[in-house]
Structure formats: structure tokens, C-alpha cells
Amino acid sequence: MLTFLAIVVVMAALMAFRVPIAFAMGIAGTLGLAAQLGPRPALAVLERTFFDSSASFILVAIPLFILMAELLTAGDVTRRAIIACQSWIGHVKGGLAMATVAASVLLAALVGSSTASTAAMAASAYPQMRAHNYSDRLAAAVVSVGGTLAVVVPPSIVLVVYGVLTETSIGKLFIAGIIPGLLTAIGLAVVIKIVAETTDQAPKGDPFVLKTAVRESRHVIPMVLLMIAVIGAIYGGIASPSEAAALGVMGSLLIVLAQRTLSFAQFNRSVSGAVRATVMIVAIVACSAIFSNYLAFTRITHGMLEWVAVTELPRAVIMGLIILLLLIMGMFMDQLAILSLAMPLAFPTAMALDYDPVWFGIVVTKTVEIGLLTPPLGLNAYVAAAQTRVPLGTIFRGILPFLGMEIVVLILLLSIPEITLFLPDLMSR
């Protein structure tokens, strides 16, 4: 136990000195294995673990989904989606903010990254809301919370990483995220409407013009069809997530080429961005596997499972403790770091309590999504602040009512598992 505590202290110290989470876990896990097994056996375990975890075929889905998002963003498709949504509902009080949420759903279904979605919304939707006299507080908060939809709505990169770390069906995770994602979007719209009706932060937008709305929507139809094709291929069992991701890349490339909005330089930047993001994620997955192997050799995980088996605490209380821990971690870490650190212990514990792995994945994903909005880290708030120049304190105050809604949705998912499992259960029939 003393050795384990020392390894945890080493990992925490490395993270405190801003060593990337992947390397901090990898170094700590390697030192732990060396202390547990000796240097030579530790290197043998390290070699095999790194290869097995990074050579998984399902990891192919990660660079493909990221590249799809990069191509659509570089090809100006995401900005057009925002304009199209605004043309339909921007005329009502709070309509521009609700249109931003609607566009965030479309963007989430194609981007898969919360920070990328937030950055795109901050660059495109925030100026539109400010031009129509929305308050800084509400406008910046909306782009922050809208970006979090990319964590739950498929094809979420967080869901892919969870599936890889826990060996859970990524296809079922994607389908399970649809209803919780839409439920969250509806909750965001309700909060916006309440704020708009009770304060002067969200005035009406431009008058509705059907001809303009139809014209702007033409640019979005290919993106919607691509989204339906990617998710439909997974739901119908026609393609695996990796194959559907390849379909998405081909479709997005055809869209931007047909619309003549992608230059060769932009294509190069899209590929480079996808490679950089993929290397980071695969490093996290591989180094998390190293640390998980160390936990297995120390029998920490086994001890936790034995405790769960003999404890008299209700399983709902244990699940509540897991959720509370994840929420606290979300105040200080990004979502991938939380998954890589927590899943080696939290997932086996949840399985020992007979929880469904798909349901648990959506609950965990929803929990880390909330962490993207909570101070002091609140990664999405930082991204929005950097893009909009709105003070962080102002953004966090604007986020508060949305956080209340997020907690309500999380409680619903915990209380009614059928919300999450309804669509995956249909897949199994």
C-alpha cells in the first residue's frame, strides 16, 4: 500500500508540473510495475500493453471522426448550419440562443469534440447574438453549454475512448447517447426561454422570412443527410463505428468539394489537426492501460471489488459516491483525463454492482460533460472566454442556471435507465 501511495504521489506531482496526463500516468505506471515486478519483467509487460492497447482496430474510428469534423469546419459547413438554424427561430425572444443550441446539436453529431464545438460556436454564433443586443453573460454561456453536447451526442470522441477503455460496444454507446443528448438540448432551450422571458438579456432577432430560411437551409441538408447516414449505418448494423467513420470522412469531403469551400491549404491543416488530436488520445489510451496493469498487479482493483461484495451500503449510494468523485474531478481535469484515471477502478466497481456498461458509460459521459462547465477549470468556459474576450467570472455566472438543468438531466438518467437503454435494446432485437 505504501508503494501504491508513493506512485500516486509521483503521478500527482508530475501533473502539478504540467506533464501531460498521458505521460504522467505512463511514467507512474511504469515505475509501479518496476517496483512490483522488477525492471526486466516490467519492461516486458510495458511493451505488450502498449502494443495491445494502441493496435486496437476500433481506435481507427478516432482519427476518422476527428478528420470528418476538421473537414466540415474548414469547409465552412458548421457556420452555415448556425445561420440556417437562426433563420428559422431567431425571430422569437431568445431565438438566436435557442438556434445556437440547435446548431450545436448538428455540430455535435459531426464534430465529436466539445472544445472544437465551443470554439466554432464562439466564432460564429456569439457575434450574431451580440449584434442583436444579447448580453455578454448569456451569449457566452450559451456557446459554452452548447459545446458540451458534443460529449454525449454521437459520434462523441469521449464515448469512443470509454468504449476502448472498458471494451464496451461503441455502436451501442453511440445509439444510447441520442436520447440523452436531445433531452439535454431541450433542457438548454427551456432555460434560455425562461431567462429570455424573465430578463432583458435576450431580445428578439430579425423578423422571420420563409424565403431566407429555405435558402439558408439548402446548405445544411447535405450535412443532415450525412449525419443520418453515419448514425443509421451503425444503428442498422450495416457498418461498425470505424466503417461508419470512414463513410463520414468520404461524405464530408464530397460535401466541401461540391460546395467549393475547401482549399488545398485548408485540407492540409485539417489532416494535421486530426493527426495531432489522434496522437494525444491514443497516448492517453495506451498510458491508461499501463496504469491499469499496475493496478491489476497491486490487486487494488480486486480489493475494491471484494469491498463492494461485502459492504452493506446500498448500490445506489456507491454509485452516488462514484458520480460525486467524477464531478469533483471535473472541476480540475478534462474529460479524457477523468476517464483514463477513473475507469480502471470505477468501471469494475459498477459492473460488480450489476449496472449495465452502456448505461454506465452514458452516465459517466454526462457527468464529465458537467465538469466542462464547473469552475475552477471549466474547460469550455475557458475556450469561450478566449474566443469572445468575455471575463471568466461573467461566463460562469451565466452558466449557473444551465448547470441546474444539467443536474436534473443527470438525475433523470440515473433514475430511469430506460431513457438511455431504449434505443440500444431495439438494436439487440
Give tens-digit pLDDT for 98-107.
Answer: 888 888 887 7
CA distances 383 to 57, 63, 76, 102, Å, are: 32, 22, 20, 20
- Residue 428 clears pLDDT 60, i.e. is over it: no
Helix axes 21-37, 335-352, angle to 10 degrees: 50
Instruction: Decide: 365 and 152 in contact? Cβ < 8 Å.
Output: yes
What per-residue confidence (pLDDT) applies to 111?
Answer: 65
C-beta neighbour count of 179 within 10 angstroms = 18
| Cell 499496475 found at | 294
Q: How many residues does the chain have?
A: 429
Least confident of 85-94, 146-155, 169-178, 382-391: 85-94
Task: Please give the average per-residue pLDDT across 310-319, as a whole number.
Answer: 82
- Residue 377 clears pLDDT 70, i.e. is over it: no
What per-residue confidence (pLDDT) applies to 85?
Answer: 76
- Residue 249 clears pLDDT 70, i.e. is over it: yes
Instruction: Decide: 126 and 140 in contact? Cβ < 8 Å.
Output: yes
CA distances 104 to 146, 166, 367, Å, are: 5, 28, 19
Q: What is the spatial distance between Cα 199 and Cα 208, in angstroms, rounded to a whole number? A: 23
At 134-157, the pLDDT tens digits run 888 998 899 888 888 888 888 788
What per-residue confidence (pLDDT) applies to 408?
Answer: 93
What per-residue confidence (pLDDT) applies to 298?
Answer: 77
pLDDT band at 301 (very low <50, low <70, confident <90, very high): low
What per-residue confidence (pLDDT) applies to 288?
Answer: 75
What per-residue confidence (pLDDT) applies to 58?
Answer: 66
- 14 or 62, which is more confident? 14
Which of 54, 26, 15 is CA-nearest to residue 294? 26
What per-residue confidence (pLDDT) applies to 199?
Answer: 85
Which of 424, 59, 55 is CA-nearest to residue 241? 59
Report, in angstroms and rounded to the nearest whole number, the Rg of the chain calculated over CA atoms.
22
pLDDT band at 14 (very low <50, low <70, confident <90, very high): confident
Domain chopping of the chain, boundaries: 1-55, 56-428
pLDDT band at 332 (very low <50, low <70, confident <90, very high): low
Give me the DSSP letters along 127-150.
HHHHHTT--HHHHHHHHHHHHTHH
Give residue 422's identity as a one-letter amino acid code: F
Instruction: Decide: 174 and 65 in contact? Cβ < 8 Å.
Output: no
At 78-90, the pLDDT tens digits run 677 777 877 777 7
The one-character DSSP state at 229 is H
What per-residue confidence (pLDDT) applies to 180?
Answer: 93
The one-character DSSP state at 154 is S
- Residue 247 clears pLDDT 80, i.e. is over it: yes
| Cell 461485502 found at | 310
C-beta neighbour count of 352 within 10 angstroms = 16
Least confident of 33-37, 176-180, 229-233, 294-298: 294-298
- Residue 296 clears pLDDT 80, i.e. is over it: no
Q: What is the spatial distance between Cα 429 and Cα 427, in angstroms, rounded to a whole number? A: 6
Instruction: Decide: 331 and 377 in contact? Cβ < 8 Å.
Output: yes
- 393 or 285, which is more confident? 393
User: Which grid coordinates belong to 416?
Assistant: 430511469
What per-residue confidence (pLDDT) applies to 302?
Answer: 63
* Mean of per-residue pLDDT scores for the chain: 82
Give every CB contact of residue 14 below 8 A, 6+ residues apart in sequence. 23, 24, 27, 28
**Cα torsion through 178, 181, 184, 188, rounded to 10:** -120
Which of 262, 223, 208, 229 is CA-nearest to residue 96? 208
Helix axes 241-258, 61-74, angle to 10 degrees: 20
Q: What is the spatial distance between Cα 29 and Cα 27, in angstroms, rounded to a whole number? A: 5
What per-residue confidence (pLDDT) applies to 256?
Answer: 84
| Cell 475557458 found at | 382
What per-residue confidence (pLDDT) applies to 112?
Answer: 65
Sign for the CA dihedral angle at 280, 285, 291, 294 comes to negative
What per-residue confidence (pLDDT) applies to 429?
Answer: 55
Instruction: Decide: 89 and 98 in contact? Cβ < 8 Å.
Output: yes
At 199-242, the pLDDT tens digits run 888 777 677 778 877 887 787 788 888 888 888 887 777 888 78
At 344-359, the pLDDT tens digits run 888 988 888 889 999 9
Q: What is the spatial distance between Cα 103 and Cα 125, in angstroms, rounded to a whole number? A: 9
At 401-419, the pLDDT tens digits run 999 999 999 999 999 999 9
What per-residue confidence (pLDDT) applies to 315?
Answer: 85
Task: Please give the average per-residue pLDDT across 282-310, as a whole number.
Answer: 72
